[in-house]
Amino acid sequence: KLSTTASRNNAVKYLTVIGGGLMGSGIAQVAAQTGHQVILVDQSEDILSKSRANIQKSLQRVIKKKFAEDPKGGEAFLSDTMDRITTQTDAAASVHTIFTSNTSSIPIGDIAVSTQRQDRFGGLHFFNPVPMMKLLEDTPGFIVNRLLVPYMVEAVRLVERGDASTKDVDTAMKLGAGYPMGPFELCDYVGLDTMKFILDGWSKNYPDNPLFQPSELLNKLVSEGKLGAKTGEGFYKYEKK
């Protein structure tokens, strides 16, 4: 076991997050909040300025709670955290860098074969919204998505069969199981494109598992560009922010 000083010396201090979308900006935010120097990378300055704006918005929500009685402390927390995040469009990483992927469904071993740094490669699976969700998975089986995605797709199949409406299912799961969101609210929150991507990968790799079969309704909504809250419509309609 490493001594405290040694652990501190060996701790990760610098992080490069590739992708400034929903998950990437959340990961960059929590890393910066916990004192890490972060470089956030995406394809254009336009995307990166949106990522910074989203991080700032999320930090304001954290501050409202954590610094309710200390506005000066809140301001310092905001500027210190934002100062730790720089952005760039170049994703080059030095050879000693430990490379981890936030993939939600692709087995990490399948990605690892294409890297030359297999001793410095792994999976770190965060959950949306990253600043609120306390779990971080590094197990090969992805416990949460293995249970959560079939559950959400089973809810879609229930509606496809005409057994209940989306609203009924959501109300039932919130009131009957105490979930903060029903499965359709959660599908829209996660993104129907992400759901489809996960399901397509699994049904290709495990064609005999009935839980992983494609869903016509999900495919239809995705083909119409109805990807959930982020596009203004998925199973439900949302007001554009």
Residue 111 in contact with ligand 3HC, rule: CB under 6 A: no
Rounded Cα distance, 201 and 106, in Å: 7
Residue number with CB closer to ligand 3HC (78 or 97): 78
Residue number with CB closer to ligand 3HC (125 or 226): 125
Interface with ligand 3HC (CB under 6 A), residue from 187, 190, 221, 229:
190
**Closest by CA position to 151, among listed 191, 187, 201:** 187
54 as an active site residue: the answer is: no
Rounded Cα distance, 195 and 214, in Å: 10
| Residue showing tokens 């129907």 | 192
Secondary structure in 3-state letters for 75-107: HHHHHHHHHCEEEECCCCCCCCCCEEECCCCCC
Task: Considering the candidates 125, 185, 215, 233, report the single residue annotated as catalytic.
Answer: 125
104 as an active site residue: the answer is: yes
45 as an active site residue: the answer is: no
Interface with ligand 3HC (CB under 6 A), residue from 21, 107, 122, 131:
131
- Do the beta carbons of residue 17 and residue 41 sit within 8 Å? yes
Return the residue nearest ligand 3HC (CB atom).
104
Instruction: Supply 93's token pair.
Output: 């990483």
Residue 129 in contact with ligand 3HC, rule: CB under 6 A: yes
Residue 147 in contact with ligand 3HC, rule: CB under 6 A: no
Residue 33 in contact with ligand 3HC, rule: CB under 6 A: no
Residue 98 in contact with ligand 3HC, rule: CB under 6 A: no
- Do the beta carbons of residue 102 and residue 116 sit within 8 Å? no
CA angle 217, 185, 168 (to 5 degrees): 75
State the nearest-atom distance from the C-beta of 141 to ligand 3HC, in Å.
Answer: 13
State the nearest-atom distance from the C-beta of 59 to ligand 3HC, in Å.
Answer: 8
- Do the beta carbons of residue 97 and residue 122 sit within 8 Å? no
Q: Classify residue 207 as left (phi > 0), alpha (psi -120 to 50) or beta.
A: alpha
Residue 61 in contact with ligand 3HC, rule: CB under 6 A: yes
224 as an active site residue: the answer is: no
Interface with ligand 3HC (CB under 6 A), residue from 15, 28, 41, 62:
62
Task: Considering the candidates 36, 54, 101, 137, report the single residue annotated as catalytic.
Answer: 137
Rounded Cα distance, 129 and 181, in Å: 13
Helix residue spans in the chain (DSSP H) = 4-10, 22-33, 45-66, 71-83, 108-112, 143-160, 166-177, 183-190, 192-205, 216-223
Residue 220 in contact with ligand 3HC, rule: CB under 6 A: no
State the nearest-atom distance from the C-beta of 191 to ligand 3HC, in Å.
Answer: 8
Residues that bind ligand 3HC (CB under 6 A): 58, 61-62, 65, 104, 127-129, 131-133, 145, 148, 180-181, 186, 190, 194
Which residues are identified as catalytic?
104, 125, 137, 145
